[in-house]
């Protein structure tokens, strides 16, 4: 059995640094990216969501919806105006605004029949903030300084990247079944025939087993690595 090849170390190290640089690359790209069609579609889609929650609240206390909507519009615009030139993540931005809106409407909510319907109130706050946010982005574009989360990026790092890693390492293991651990650890050591000549070929079942082990280990490892980096960034 051979020790891990140097190029395997290069692949793993390169993948790690690519993930670390993703946040920086996304921020730089955002500075030059125009408002996408996704934002325009998002405004239309989120408007329907807001209308649905408005109809639900109207059955109990329509004044609360007006208060939430007005507060969301005010605090989203205020937060963008006051954040300066610093770029901020969409998730962090919305979390801060939601806290401010909840505090502002609390007194009015305590006097309303909606005070015992917190889940619906929270859903309404989130929906109105999302709509106000999308409207501001559609007006300001990159000048808003918000790093928006791309669904494609989420899909790539959480699904496609681990699958690609599993596929590449699985393919390499299939070609070199006795060179890449931990799959290579299951390959019996090949001893030259007593009469001399080349080594006997690896048993096909051993090749399949080694390939499956490496595909699973490196695929799950890539997914765990992505999860750890996301966790570190959130902190």
pLDDT at 20: 54
pLDDT at 114: 87
- Within 8 A by CB and 6+ apart from 32, the residues are 142
Query: CA of 48: how far to CAs of 12, 52, 74, 127, 228, in Å?
Result: 45, 6, 20, 10, 36
pLDDT at 2: 45
pLDDT at 1: 41
pLDDT in tens, 111-127: 888 888 889 999 999 99
* Lowest mean pLDDT, pick from 23-32, 122-131, 224-233: 23-32
Cα–Cα distance between 229 and 96 in angstroms, integer?
A: 23
Please tell me whether the overall predicted TM-score, pTM, comes out greater than 0.85 for this model. Answer: no
* Lowest mean pLDDT, pick from 40-49, 136-145, 169-178, 217-226: 136-145
pLDDT in tens, 158-209: 788 888 888 888 888 888 888 888 888 888 877 777 776 677 778 888 888 8
Q: Is 25 helix (H, G, I), strand (E, B) or coil?
A: helix
pLDDT interval class at 31 (50, 70, 90)? very low
pLDDT at 173: 86
pLDDT at 169: 85
Q: How many CB atoms lie within 10 A of CB 116?
A: 9
């Amino acid at each position: 059995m051979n020790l891990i090849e140097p190029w395997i170390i290069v692949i793993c190290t390169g993948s790690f640094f690519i993930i670390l640089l993703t946040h920086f690359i996304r921020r730089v790209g955002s500075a030059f990216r125009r408002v996408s069609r996704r934002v325009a579609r998002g405004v239309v889609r989120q408007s329907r969501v807001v209308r649905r929650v408005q109809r639900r609240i109207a059955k109990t206390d329509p004044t609360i919806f007006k208060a939430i909507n007005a507060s969301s519009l005010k605090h989203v615009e205020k937060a963008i105006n006051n954040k300066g030139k610093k770029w901020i993540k969409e998730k962090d931005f919305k979390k801060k605004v939601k806290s401010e809106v909840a505090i502002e409407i609390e007194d009015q909510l305590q006097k309303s029949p909606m005070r015992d319907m917190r889940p619906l109130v929270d859903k309404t706050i989130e929906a109105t903030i999302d709509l106000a946010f999308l409207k501001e982005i559609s007006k300001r574009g990159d000048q808003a300084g918000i790093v928006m989360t791309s669904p494609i990026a989420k899909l790539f790092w959480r699904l496609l990247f681990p699958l690609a890693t599993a596929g590449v390492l699985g393919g390499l293991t299939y070609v070199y079944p006795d060179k890449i651990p931990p799959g290579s650890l299951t390959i019996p050591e090949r001893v030259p025939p007593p009469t001399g000549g080349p080594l006997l070929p690896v048993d096909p079942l051993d090749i399949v087993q080694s390939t499956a082990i490496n595909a699973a280990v490196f695929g799950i490892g890539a997914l765990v690595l992505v999860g750890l980096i996301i966790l570190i960034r959130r902190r």
